[in-house]
């Protein structure tokens, strides 16, 4: 299974588990991620979710081959259902980023509550380079978190940025040495799991709730344009170039 789930006490670890493809995400993987979140939401024993990849790679973003064969066609497509599951998730989500986090691998972090990165983490949102537009409500949330100038630069150029830049911009909470990341992720997640569960839920609701409608509207706006762009000649050209490594 390319998404593995393990419950350790009150913490659910959801791992992107396709290292031979740099954890590139397929339609089936999005569906599995959504199921893992929904299962954690209804499981009273689960108090915290950790999203992680493998040592050295979080995710290379979408599997372009799979994406071209199974493109999203509407707001009920697998990738949008996953993003909405993140938006609506009521319990704390801790993300652990080691190595590359490309495209949705970066934008999904905007919906996580605590983002922990290793010093070798590398982030990028190369949507424009592929003829696409930002997704994951990044056009709304990234300017709020990182500032408009930084968000404009990252989203319009698609250039990668390192963990220290992400820390300064407020995209990540802490940066650790690669060998220390796992232990600190566990420490923080287990610490959250020991706190009063309802107090955590209500606190997250106060932090996220007032903007949830605006986030959903941004997801819908971006999604409509994103789907329309998939048939644009320059997007097809960019995807073909990517696949042939031209």
Q: What digits encode the pLDDT tens for the residues 175-208?
A: 999 999 999 999 999 999 999 999 999 999 999 9
Q: Which residue has the tokens 């010093």?
A: 119
The three-class DSSP label of residue 34 is helix
- pLDDT of the residue at 93: 98
Q: What is the chain's mean pLDDT, rounded? A: 95
Task: Write the DSSP symbol of residue 59.
Answer: B
Query: pTM here?
Result: 0.95
CATH of domain 3-179: 3.90.226.10
- What number is the average pLDDT over the span 66-93? 92
Task: Provide the pLDDT for residue 192.
Answer: 98
Give tens-digit pLDDT for 203-238. Answer: 999 999 999 999 999 999 999 999 999 989 999 898
Tell me, what's the pLDDT at 232? Answer: 93
Give the H/E segment covering residue 203.
helix 197-208
Domain ranges within the chain, ordered by starting residue = 3-179
Residues 132-164 have pLDDT tens digits of 999 999 999 999 999 999 999 999 999 999 999
Q: Give the tokens for residue 48.
A: 């915290």
Q: Is the pLDDT of residue 246 over 60?
A: no
């Amino acid at each position: 299974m390319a998404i593995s789930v393990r419950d350790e006490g009150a913490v659910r670890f959801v791992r992107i588990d396709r290292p031979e493809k740099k954890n590139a995400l397929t339609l089936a993987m999005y569906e599995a991620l959504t199921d893992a979140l929904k299962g954690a939401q209804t499981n009273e024993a689960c108090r915290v979710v950790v999203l992680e990849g493998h040592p050295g790679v979080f995710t290379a973003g979408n599997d372009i081959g799979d994406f071209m064969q199974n493109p999203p066609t509407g707001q009920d497509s697998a990738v949008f259902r996953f993003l909405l599951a993140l938006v609506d998730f009521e319990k704390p989500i801790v993300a652990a980023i080691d190595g590359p986090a490309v495209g949705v691998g970066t934008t999904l972090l905007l919906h996580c509550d605590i983002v922990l990165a290793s010093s070798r983490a590398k982030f990028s949102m190369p949507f424009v380079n592929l003829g696409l537009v930002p997704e994951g409500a990044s056009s709304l949330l990234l300017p709020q978190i990182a500032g408009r100038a930084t968000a404009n630069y990252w989203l319009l150029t698609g250039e990668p940025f390192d963990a220290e830049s992400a820390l300064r911009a407020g995209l990540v909470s802490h940066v650790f040495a690669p060998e220390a990341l796992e232990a600190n992720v566990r420490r923080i997640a287990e610490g959250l799991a020991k706190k009063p569960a309802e107090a955590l839920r209500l606190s997250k609701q106060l932090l996220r709730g007032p903007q949830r409608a605006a986030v959903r509207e941004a997801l819908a706006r971006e999604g409509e344009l994103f789907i329309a762009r998939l048939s644009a000649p320059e997007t097809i050209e960019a995807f073909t170039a990517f696949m042939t490594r031209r």
